[in-house]
Amino acid sequence: MVKKKIIWTKRAHSELYETLDYYTNRNKSRIYSEKLYKEIQQRLRKLDFSIVLPQKTSKPNIFYLTY
């Protein structure tokens, strides 16, 4: 079975950290942001590409997923 690699775009990476910073500032604690980040990482590890249908891009063999 071919192992799939997830590569974050700069924009997606930036928006993730902006979201985590937002919750840190709103809650005055990093606890929720850390839980959210761990949840995202855990879901990415368990991602089943046969069920989730990635969208094609203009580049061959490159797809994107939204969550």
Answer yes or no: are the C-beta atoms of 32 and 38 closer than 8 Å.
no
- In the three-class reduction of DSSP (H, G, I as helix; E, B as strand; rest coil), residue 61 is classed as coil
pLDDT of residue 20: 96
What is the pTM assigned to this prediction?
0.67
Place of tokens 């949840």: 39
Q: What is the structure's pLDDT at 49? A: 63
pLDDT of the chain, 67 residues: tens digit per residue? 566 777 788 998 999 999 999 999 999 999 999 999 999 888 888 776 665 667 778 888 777 776 6
Give pLDDT, residue 46: 78
pLDDT at 18: 96
Residue 55's region, left for phi above 0, alpha for psi from -120 to 50, else beta, is beta
